[in-house]
A and B are shown apart, each in its own frame.
Chain A
Amino acid sequence: MKSGSNLEKVLKAGHFAFTGELGPPRGCDVEEVKEKAQHLKGNVDSVNITDNQTAMVRMSSWAASLILLQEGLEPNFQMVCRDRNRLAMQADILGAYAHGIRNMLCLSGDHQKFGDHPMAKGVFDIDSIQLISMVKNMRDNGTFLSGAELHGIPKMFIGAASNPFADPFEWRVHRLAKKVEAGCDFIQTQCIYNMEKFREFIKQANDMGLTEKTYILAGVTPMKSVGMAKYMKNKVPGMDVPDEIIKRLQGAEKGKVADEGIKFACEQIEEFKEMKGVHGVHMMAIEWEHKVPEIAERAKVLPRPVVD
């Protein structure tokens, strides 16, 4: 065991993992975190806690992760490269581990231009792949990035993101390979809507042997409305939403669009369960946490396994 986190145990035991996501509040309201967490409890193996997502200031990721721990859920502490340099990153990793956080997700981070402080200085001292390598180095070699020895070693289960749909498509699997080489234990992908392209991506990853070296959790976000689908298609960089999906949602009965969105998500999950090289699903029900129990039920991923 690298970290002994619940997520690691579930994956290692060969179960199909199911992870969730929670965005911390734009303030210090603990109740808001607890409320969202209640919907996820027992329905997912681990919960990603976003780090100033879309470059909007929120309660810090490690702090919200601690609230989750107190509530009896396992957090997956996200860390972006935009807001901290290598000193602050390593310090936060140590602090997070000391408080019981065992999973991390290493990301570049959306550009600050998108957020509420567009003129902030973007740090990007190191990039996401370098961050993976830094965390692995801390864990496996017991040293800081500088080479100095650590007193007390943070044993994190190291995650990274992968976007199979950004251009150039041929390069995507190589970028995944770089993340694996840098030392990531699991991957959570960008939200998948274009299944055909994803099948091709996974096939490439299988052919390169990458899916044997890292666990792949396929990213799923159920569409709530036609407007959301169109927004994702046109406004979110690196997102691939085929027209069929939009048509399918448009074809749904009045008042049943969200239901159709969940139905499509469940069909995806059924396919992922059978897909070679996919080890689980990462459910990003953005501001839709209360729907997760229903989605998990309908996707037949309950009860979640308990592994000792």
Chain B
Amino acid sequence: MIVAKRKPFEEIKEMIKDYKKVLNVGCGTCVAVCLAGGEKEVAVLNAEIDMARKLDNNPIELGAQTVERQCDHEYLEELDDVIGDYDAVISMACGVGIQFLAERFPDKPVYPGVDTCGMSANQAVGWYEERCRSCGKCVLGMTAAICPVTMCAKGLYNGPCGGTNKGSCEIDTEQPCAWFRIYERLERQGRLNNILIYTPPVEWNDQIPRTLIQPGYKKPEKAG
């Protein structure tokens, strides 16, 4: 899932300092699961802002609403009637949701309440680890299902580099070397042949905003 981290409070406070009425919109999907921007986090942030602004003698009126998914028109519709009451919006969705919400309400200043940090797996409660950078051309078949783009600090396709150190990456003894693990797993599966051959330069697919149309579907006439 997409994971995010709540922005530092001071940064959020500074962004909205000139507004008197702000709507804080949470998202009920990924960012709710990773404890960054769901209903609960919206309530917590609003309480913090409310208190801080009172202390500053600059009271603020805050609204709270959490929609199922901010990256979907269908769920943003419910904001159509309320948004007009506010000067600005904080969105606690991931970067996709924040932009999508802002596109629907182009007259409203929209501010991010979180920093989006990648596509990660849940290792334990509150602990997430990145696994994919959505490069657009998956090579996990070659690399024993360990991503060289994300898990290798240099994103090498012909690793390991000379810095691999007793199984850890040169950047940190706590960080396993992706290529060491790729080697181990391929060896275990008798598939080392996969990496004996040279992998030519990658044609990067993530250099322009990408669109995706699944087979059997087409782009709507008036796509936003």
Contact = CB atoms under 8 A, between A and B. Distances in A.
Interface in A147-181: 161-163, 166-168, 171, 174-175, 177-178, 181
Interface string A84-122: 001000000000000000000000111101100000001
A82 B159 CA distance: 14
Contacts of A134: 201
Interface stretch (A124-132, A251-259, A268-276, A289-297): A124-132
Most central of B159, B162, B165, B184 by chain A CB within 10 Å: B162
A53 interface: no
B163 interface: yes
Contacts of B199: 129-130
A127 B156 contact: yes
Interface in B157-175: 157-167, 170-171
Contact of A166 (B153, B158, B163, B171): B163
A54 to B, nearest CB: 11
B198 A166 contact: no
Nearest to A183: B198
A174 B196 contact: yes
A172 B184 CA distance: 14
A126 B201 contact: yes
Nearest to A174: B196
A268 B36 CA distance: 58
Contacts of B170: 110-111, 114, 237-238
Nearest to B157: A127
Secondary structure type dominating chain B contacts: loop
A182 B198 contact: yes
Interface string B120-136: 00000000000000000
Q: How large is the interface on B (under 10, 10 to 19, 20 to 34, 35 or more residues)?
A: 20 to 34
Given A166-B162, A166-B165, A190-B162, A130 B154 contact: no
Contacts of A129: 158, 198-199
A163 B164 CA distance: 10
Contact of A167 (B155, B180, B197, B200): B180
Contacts of A162: 162
A110 B198 contact: no
A161 B162 contact: yes
Given A110-B163, A190-B162, A133 B200 contact: yes
A295 to B, nearest CB: 24
A114 B160 CA distance: 18
Contacts of B200: 130, 133
B183 interface: yes
Interface string B175-206: 00100100110000000000011111110100
A165 to B, nearest CB: 9
Interface in B111-150: none
Interface string B36-57: 0000000000000000000000
A250 B179 CA distance: 36
A130 B165 CA distance: 23
A210 to B, nearest CB: 13
A241 to B, nearest CB: 13
Contacts of B158: 127-130, 175, 178
Most buried by A among B157, B183, B198: B198
Given A145-B201, A167-B180, A124 B156 contact: yes
B181 to A, nearest CB: 10
B165 A237 contact: yes
Contact of A133 (B161, B183, B198, B202): B198
Given A127-B154, A174-B196, A111 B201 contact: no
A178 B163 contact: no
Query: Of residues A126, A129, A167, A182, which shows the largest number of chain B Cβ atoms within 10 Å of its Cβ?
Result: A167
Interface of A: 81-82, 86, 108-111, 113-114, 122, 124-130, 133-134, 145, 161-163, 166-168, 171, 174-175, 177-178, 181-182, 190, 237-238
Given A127-B157, A238-B170, 10 more contacts: A82-B154, A110-B163, A111-B153, A127-B154, A130-B199, A166-B162, A167-B160, A167-B166, A167-B180, A181-B198
Q: Which 3 A-B residue pairs are closest in the complex by CB-CB distance?
A: A163-B162, A237-B170, A129-B158
22 contacts: A82-B154, A86-B201, A111-B153, A111-B170, A114-B170, A114-B171, A124-B154, A125-B204, A129-B198, A130-B157, A130-B201, A133-B200, A162-B162, A166-B160, A166-B165, A167-B167, A168-B180, A168-B184, A174-B196, A178-B196, A181-B198, A237-B165
